[in-house]
Every structure is written in C-alpha cells, then in structure tokens.
Structure 1
Amino acid sequence: MGEDPPGLDLSRLGPWLADAVPGAGSELTATLIAGGRSNLTYDVTDGTGRWIVRRPPLGHVLATAHDMAREYRVMSALQGSAVPVPRMLALCDDDAVVGAPFYVMERIEGTVYTRAAQLEALGAERTRAISTRVVDTLADLHAIVPDGVGLGDFGRPDGFLARQVARWKKQLDASRSRDLPDADELHRRLAADVPHEGAVGIVHGDYRLDNVLIDAGDRPAAVIDWEMATLGDPLTDLALMIVYGRIAAAAGPVVADANLAPGFLSEAEVVDRYASRSDRDLSRFGFYLGLASYKAAGILEGIHYRYRHGQTVGAGFDRIGELVEPLLRTGLDALD
C-alpha cells in the first residue's frame, strides 16, 4: 500500500475498488494530479490497472458545486455520442470510504495543452488542427438533444440566462473590495436586455482547451471536468471560451495561454467554425460575450479579494486585480 495522497485513504479505497471494479486489486498507490478549489483528481493503480478517481475538494464545500453524481451522470449519458468522454466505472456516495462521495473512471491517454510553448513545439499546422477540432467537439456537444441521452431533467433551462446574470452579480458583490462602476453598468445592461433563448442544450460550463485531452493524432480523446455542467443556453460555452482567450492575452504566464500559439484559431475563426457546424442563432452573440466577461470578472475579482486578504499566494496573483476593469470594459464593448 502506498502513501496516501491528500483526501484519499487508500486502505479504505482499496477494498472498495476491488469489489466495485472488475479486475481491480486492493493494494493501491495513487498520485494527486489536479487539486485545489476544484474537484480533486487522482491517478490510481494496483500495479497492473490504472484508473482516475475524482472527489470534491478538501474542507467545507457546497454540495451543489461539487456533486459527484451529476458529473458521473453527464459523462455516463454521453458514452457513445459524438463527444468523447472517459468510461464511467463506479460511483460511491458513502462518505465513510474516503470522506466524501467520489467516482472512478477510465484513464484516457492524452495531453492537456495549457501553454503556448507546448503547441509551438508541434508547429502551426498541428496547432490549427487541434484548435479546430476542439471547436468542432463543442458544436457536437451542443447538437445533442438532452432528452435523447437521458438528460432531459439534468437542469432548469427556463430563464437560464437571467439566472446567470443574477448569479454572477451575487458572486461579484460577495468579493468586491473596491469601486467597480463598470461592473454595475455591465450588470444593468445585461439584466435589461436578456435575449430570447434558443433550443436547450447541454452546457459544459468551463469549456476550454485545457479541459480536453488531446490524443497522439491531435484529436480530442476526452472532454473532462464536467463539474459545472447543466442544461441551458450553450452559446455561453462558446463565449466563455473566447473570453478565456482574452484573459490569456492580457495576463501572461499566470493563466493557461495555449490559444496564443501560432496557428491557433483567432476569435473570429472560432466563431465562424462553430457557426459552420451549428444551427444556433449567433445574432446576439455580443450579449453572450458580455455575460462571459462579467462572469470572468467575478472570478478574477474573487481571486484578487483572496490575494488581498492573504488567502491566495503564488507568482502573478498580485496582478490579477489589474485584469478586472479592462475585462468589464470589454464586456460593455461587446454589448455595443
């Protein structure tokens, strides 16, 4: 039995895994491969087989924000669809095993590209192919009819956009430590002109290149990190992906900047590619960009707040606050 990584009691997990997953042994070693405020991800092996285990972050968390059963359910539903996802193997809702609900899924071979330097090493042609296929996969996700894969009751799509505006105002207000007049103006304009929502779709909630594993053939092998998934207006995914790219251009090495690599699709090319693969109405896309900017500003202001209060440390966090006001102005410009 190997040393326990934070949040995973291997002496308890081993017997459970051997019983729940055919062929799995009970003597395990594990490595934490992603952690923090998001769900924790572990690479687990018995010396022969390898699996991925996901559980909520350590400490007190909102159950609705880290619902293992929801994440397990959406990926199970997408098995065999045009959207590649890992095969789900077992779900445990008994806190007594590792201290929180968790699930086990297939380990997929693939690369997570977060940095422009990684893609630069591949060359512009391969980078263009990767970014194009990532956009295509998003369009494929949004083309899936939720009822057709058993997800018709997965969320509350009615009034989705209005609730998003209200939710992110609450989030921003909770972490605001300074005057941000553009935040007030952006919220006012968003709330006053919510567009008519199109057909309900599956929303990933955090779609970007580094949440897609890319295989050796430069194709998406698996879309991961579905903890924010719900039903609603899928154009919010497209807009947020673009806004993440804008943050990368402004923030430097603090955030993932793979979209800055030569060959990566530009904003206009991303939208055009998506439009060519989707029948969704993009005539009000400026609203979605404004909303995505407001959401991202709320996230960054929260990081800035925690940094000022000594709750976040690390290189670059001292500059995060500088990104908020330009991002809010970008959101206002999008509405124009």
Structure 2
Amino acid sequence: MDDIAGLPRGPVDRWLRSAIGDRFDSKEWRAEPISGGLSNLTYRLRLGDGSSVVLRRPPLGGVLPSAHDMRREWTLLTALYGTGIPVPQPLALCTDDSVLGGTFYVMSDVPGEVFRTSADTGALTGPQRRDLSTVFVGTLTDLHALNPYEVGLADFGRPDHFNERQVRRWGEQWRRSQRQELPDMDRLLALMASRIPATHDVSIVHGDFRLDNMLVAAGTADISVNAVVDWELSTLGDPLADLGLALTYWHDMHDDERALIPIALGVTAHPGFMTTTEIAEQYSRTSGRRLDELNFYQAMGAMKLAVILAGVEARFNDGHMSDQGPLSLREAIRVLVARGLRAITV
C-alpha cells in the first residue's frame, strides 16, 4: 500500500507492531484521513482484524511554539478516561521522532456522528436540535465541574493570571502568523489587556469546545455524547474562556455577518437550536457561574478564532498543508476582529 501524507508506512508499521501488536492485529492496516487537516492531523487506521484505531499527529510544518503539543493531549486523555467525561481511550504514545518526526499517539475509535456542516444538522428534527443544544451545554458544564487536582492534572497548567497570559500569548501567535496589516487587531488586543477580569475559579479548559469536536449518538431516543475530541489547546484556567469561544463558533439564525466566517458555518442556524443567549443562560444556570463579564470572554473567543484562522492561512500558503491550494481567510479574520471589538466596547 502507498504511503499517505504524514504517515509513512514503514516506520508506522514497525511502531504499531511494538506498541499495540499485543492487542490488535496490526500486520495489515490502511489509513484514512478523518479530519480536514486544519490543525493536528487525524487518521483512522483500519486493522487486519476488522477493528480500527485513531492516530493523531502534529501538522506537517509551520508549527508555532507551544502549539500542537501531542504529549499534552495524551496526558489529558489519560487523566479524563474513566472519569465520566466522555473521551476516547488512549492506547499508546510515541515520543520517538524517528517515526513521524514528532510525538504522536493512538486512541480508540469511538463511534458517533460529527455535526460539521449545515447539512448534517439540517437532517435533525427541531426537538433533536434542542436536545443537542442541551447536551452540548451539559457536557461543557460537566467538564468544568471536574476537579483537575483530583484526576492528576495539578501540573497541567498555570491558572494564575490565566486571562492575562491568554491575551499576551495569542497576541504573540498573531504576530507570528499574520499575513496582513490589521490595526483593529492591535486595538482589540490592547483593549482586552486593559479590561482583564479576575478569575473566580479554575477548571479544565478544553480550549476549542465546539459542536464538531463531539462524537454524538443521535440515532437513539435520547441524544448523548460518546466522546469529546481535539484537546490540543486544553489547559487549566478560567472556564468562561471555553464558553466565550463556544459562543463564537455558534451560528444563530439570521446572523448574516456570522455567515462570513467559514468555520462551523450554518451548523446551528436551524430552527430548534438554542441561540447564543440561551446557551449562555443555560450554562449559567447549570454551572452556577455568573456571566457579568461575558463580553470580555466573547471578545477573547473572537480574537482566538481570528488568530487560529491566521495560522491556518499561513500554513496553507507556506506549503505546509498537503494537497491543498492557496487559501484566503482574510475577510473572516477581519469580521472576527470587528465582532471582538464590538463585544469588548459594549
């Protein structure tokens, strides 16, 4: 079988046999990419015994400092597996750079639907969309209720001055990734740095909590979450940072400006889904957290997504994303920065 980009057969074959050969028939396997390749790369490996596992590795190039840390993902999954927070089972970690050029890991292949497009959620009924909204908020609330110190994650992050460091770190990422002059981003970062709220409690922060990072059991009477995935940005910090970014991804019906941002486009813009206001209110009720300074967290969510898209655009256009042509996300980045400015100046 031919190699596929980012997964050379020879080295991977030898590692699979040594790492999981006692549990799976890894002698014959074939790989299928199962992500769009905008961040860490994900492959489903179909094995000779009919089973499958999932392999996660960093992007092929253009990696910024502290980004795409696979060991952190592994540490987080290992801590959360078995706690009641639904995550795939971590199976094996490889830190030998001679295999893939960087750290990667293999985890269980969890079944479930991924709601990535408007068409995906368009097939649901109105009541199902409402239930999915409720499950979405409940999963985030459950994650933030888990005590990180009780599951071995005391050293997983530095929660002190979390919001201040987030603004500084993402500003640095912007300066490394940007391919356009955008004075409004400088203004947004400055305003956020001057209006940082106090952190009232500490939780595990997913860092990219959105609907298509959940594997959902939707074919039964009760919608449930089989697994939350893509933990590469996870840390310990302010739980409201997760809520702010989740609201940035959420697409309310009739929000035409949000339609200019291609990520999660139209996924929740159907009758039956809660609105962003309802999502925030539901989170506040179930978590017991006040949202007096939610505008800051929404501004930070918009800023983060703008920086993420700038990094994606840079990797594409610098030739680090395999089999992809030129990409422009400049309009989406400008829209996100404008939305962030509106939120922080309310």
The CA distance in 2 between the partners of 1:37 and 1:121, in whole Å, is 25
Post-superposition shift, 1:311?
Answer: 8.5
Amino acid at match of 1:222: A
1:58 counterpart SS class? coil
Q: Does 1:233 align with 2:238?
A: yes
- Over the aligned positions, Cα root-mean-square deviation in angstroms equals 2.6
- 2:84 maps to 82
C-alpha change, 1:253 and 1:156, in structure 2 (3 Å) is closer
Structure-to-structure mapping, 1:163-174, within 5 angstroms: 163-174=165-176
- 1:273 maps to 282
Post-superposition shift, 1:192?
Answer: 1.1
Q: Does 1:8 align with 2:13?
A: no
1:151 counterpart SS class? coil
- Once the two structures are superposed, what CA deviation does each residue of 1:64-119 show, in whole Å capped at 9, x if it has no partner? 31222210110111112232000111111112233332211110111111112211
Q: Does 1:256 align with 2:264?
A: yes
Mapped contact 1:3–1:29 kept (Cα < 8 A):
no
Unaligned runs of 5+ in 2: none
Amino acid at match of 1:16: W
The CA distance in 2 between the partners of 1:155 and 1:302, in whole Å, is 23
C-alpha change, 1:256 and 1:19, in structure 2 (3 Å) is same
Post-superposition shift, 1:160?
Answer: 1.1
Q: Which has the higher helix share?
A: 1
Greater CA drift, 86-95 or 55-64: 55-64
2:15 counterpart SS class? helix
The CA distance in 2 between the partners of 1:123 and 1:310, in whole Å, is 41
C-alpha change, 1:156 and 1:57, in structure 2 (3 Å) is same
1:31 counterpart SS class? strand
Unaligned runs of 5+ in 1: none
TM-score, length of structure 2 as denominator length: 0.87
Amino acid at match of 2:94: C
The CA distance in 2 between the partners of 1:326 and 1:240, in whole Å, is 15
The CA distance in 2 between the partners of 1:262 and 1:74, in whole Å, is 35
C-alpha change, 1:163 and 1:3, in structure 2 (3 Å) is same
Mapped contact 1:6–1:32 kept (Cα < 8 A):
no
Post-superposition shift, 1:208?
Answer: 0.2
TM-score, length of structure 1 as denominator length: 0.89
Amino acid at match of 1:94: D
The CA distance in 1 between the partners of 2:85 and 2:65, in whole Å, is 26
- 1:42 maps to 43
Q: Matched residues, percent identical?
A: 42
Q: Does 1:191 align with 2:193?
A: yes
1:34 counterpart SS class? coil
Mapped contact 1:205–1:230 kept (Cα < 8 A):
yes
Post-superposition shift, 1:226?
Answer: 0.5
2:121 counterpart SS class? helix
- 2:210 maps to 208
